[in-house]
Chain A
């Protein structure tokens, strides 16, 4: 009973604090918080079209949150999902505008494979560095994010620059490579379904596969894992690569479904919002789904709120930052069994 209570408290508390802070901010500027938050809720879920916009905004987060959760549940502190998302997206887009359009819809799976390979290899590196040399994964993945941004920024300003348009963009992908829109005119696209499949696959992996079980054991008690013959390095590399593959899928889905080309600012921090979602959800698949939709709702409602009532979109960042901090404050009690003491970083 205690754990169930603690669990739900851990999810509710960060949200409560975040919305309380948002309410205080709104009160300070002389707005009625209840009114604004109700307006935001209607903007996000009020009718089918708006709900579709919310789901569309939540699509990249489904991927980045699952990618983060895969590592966090094994105690691997991977903060490099954003980089894998960006490079995976770039790889998919590259395939989708360079291969001949005559291949047709077949380009889509090829693009996803390219994204998965890119993302997987990208996070394989810090995985190996951690597993073999105990090189701190927080630092390596953090640095890799900046390196990914540098590489992609270089490519879209140089070799992959669109000849037709100005700076920072690749050519558009072939129309046949675009993921189908589910509810036009909304931008909700088939990537959302792929995201749902990733969540289900993650759930199945966690519950029904030996490697998923080993991942959980390594996260909860690495010494016990070693004692019963689980290869901790192999698990670390596996979860890193899986995380990269899912993040790559996310980039491919975002590229082929939403952006249709790569530009600087392809990911406005989806990897980090995904981290907030995974933390809030305590790595649980259902929680990830709801968390992603919640943050998607904040993003889509935030934009309209800014348009109609002049309340700055930054309110959404305030909420997200608060959720992240308070999610780990509560999580601290639950995640005491981290692979090693945090101050060893």
Chain B
């Protein structure tokens, strides 16, 4: 029973990381390292709570969050592709800027410091009937399944096909791997990059909506708590491959879910929280050494 609930919470905690990681992965495939995932998640969560409260519809709220993320992503992309900004610094700047703008709106419009509670926020519904809870092992996970979690895993299933076998997937890979070649065959590689950054924003917006609407129904300045960077860690660790990245996300989600229990076992939570980053560091070193060996051989 306990273990089943652990699985359920691991899956729930994986969803936002997974959505953001899929967005960032598409973006990186087209040659842009998106450090600003965090900003777009935060904006998505904020918009989701406001729209959900205003309309009472979780679908409209999720769409609005995704579009807000996409719009921010597109503007961010323009600064990189058209104005030649360094993508790392611009991404870090975007995180600070968006946090500032949201904090400003929060305290000026809503007269609140840090947390936004609004009435009648529609939460994400459960897709399957609650009776499934009794199914052994995966029961609680099935009963808790929400639309965005389903969408996230469908994306994981579809993305390898989209990247490998569709025209748009080819364009994205060509832009990232051989931008000279892409340009020479007449692809608008900057537009493709802008499109993928908007995609990343779209998925991050959904990730934010999931964080805000899955159970709490409120926005908090610390809601994303570095998950944008965990997502970055995941697709670095998964070497931009959707399925491998999804496994990394699942691992990080499970770590987060287990954190409370491990804490009871006497393991310090701060050290557990830093594991994803340590793993990426190790993966980075291993990958670099391998690449070097290959180059020498």
**Chain A interfacial positions (CB closer than 8 Å to B):** 25, 29, 77, 79, 129, 133-136, 138-140, 142-144, 146-147, 149-151, 153-154, 157-158, 269, 272, 275-276, 279, 311-325, 327-329, 331-333, 335, 338, 342-343, 345
Contact = CB atoms under 8 A, between A and B. Distances in A.
B215 interface: no
A279 B101 contact: no
Contacts of B33: 138, 345
B129 interface: no
A143 B87 contact: no
Given A133-B289, A332-B84, 14 more contacts: A79-B88, A129-B288, A134-B288, A134-B292, A135-B287, A139-B284, A143-B278, A143-B281, A146-B277, A147-B277, A311-B108, A318-B101, A320-B100, A325-B79
B164 interface: no
Given A317-B96, A325-B97, A329-B83, A134 B291 contact: yes
Contact of B93 (A135, A313, A324, A333): A324
Contacts of B205: none
B167 interface: no
Given A134-B288, A135-B288, A147-B278, A321 B96 contact: yes
A7 B292 CA distance: 38
A125 B270 CA distance: 22
A263 to B, nearest CB: 14
A319 B278 CA distance: 33
Interface residues of B, number: 52
Interface in B14-40: 31-33, 35
Contact of A140 (B84, B100, B103, B281): B281
Nearest to B107: A312
A6 B286 CA distance: 42
Contacts of B232: 142
A332 B96 contact: no
A329 B88 CA distance: 12
Given A138-B88, A325-B79, A143 B96 contact: no
Contact of A320 (B96, B102, B287): B96
Nearest to B292: A133
A343 B268 contact: no
Nearest to B221: A314
Contacts of A139: 236, 280, 284
B157 interface: no
